[in-house]
Amino acid sequence: MVTGLQTSEQRRRMMSGIKGRDTVPELSLRREVWALGLRYRLQYQIGRTRPDMVFVGAKLVVFVDGCFWHGCPLHSTMPKNNREFWERKLRRNRERDTENTQQLEAEGWRVLRIWEHEIRASAANCARRIAAMLGKIKESTE
C-alpha cells in the first residue's frame, strides 16, 4: 500500500518535471516571495539559462530544483526501466546545473538553488532566504 503511494507520487513528480515550468513548488515559492513584497522576473534569459526567478537589480537568480530531475541527495530515485538512459540523463542534468551555476557566477550573478523538498517543507522559509540574500528581510516574530 505504502509502496504504491510512493510510486504514484514519484510518477507525479516526474510528470511535473517533464512539464518543467510552473510546478507546484515553484508556484508556492513565488506566492511567498510575492507576499514578502519582493519582485522578480520570470522567463528572463541569461545566456543559455532561464532561471525560475531573476532579481535583475540585485543580480540574484533562483532555481527551483526538482528532487528527481536534479538528483537530490535525499530523494533521488532511479527508475528501474531503462536504467542506463536515466542514469545518463540525470547525470547530464546535474552537470548542466553545475555548468550553469558556474557560468552565471562568472558573469557576476549570485545563484541560489532551492530543492523542491525544501519548498515542500516550508515555502515561507525559502522565501525568507531569498529576502535575506536581497538584504530585505523583515524582522518577524513568526
Closest contact distance (angstroms) between CB of 94 and Zn ion is 13
Return the closest-CA partner of residue 14 out of 68, 85, 95.
Answer: 68
Closest contact distance (angstroms) between CB of 13 and Zn ion is 10
Nearest to Zn ion of 40, 68 (CB atom): 68
Closest contact distance (angstroms) between CB of 113 and Zn ion is 12
The residue whose grid cell reads 537568480 is 61
The binding site for Zn ion (CB under 5 A) comprises 67, 72, 74-75, 115, 117
Nearest to Zn ion of 72, 111 (CB atom): 72
Closest contact distance (angstroms) between CB of 139 and Zn ion is 30
Contact 93, 69 (CB under 8 A): yes
> What are the cell numbers at 60?
540574484
Nearest to Zn ion of 53, 114 (CB atom): 114
- Amino acid in the structure at residue 141: T
Nearest to Zn ion of 1, 74 (CB atom): 74
Nearest to Zn ion of 51, 66 (CB atom): 66
Closest contact distance (angstroms) between CB of 77 and Zn ion is 10
Mind giving me the DSSP string for 1-63? -HHHHHHHHHHHHHHHHHH-SS-HHHHHHHHHHHHTT---BSS--BTTB--SEEETTTTEEEE
The torsion angles phi and psi of 91, rounded to 5 degrees, stand at: -65, -45
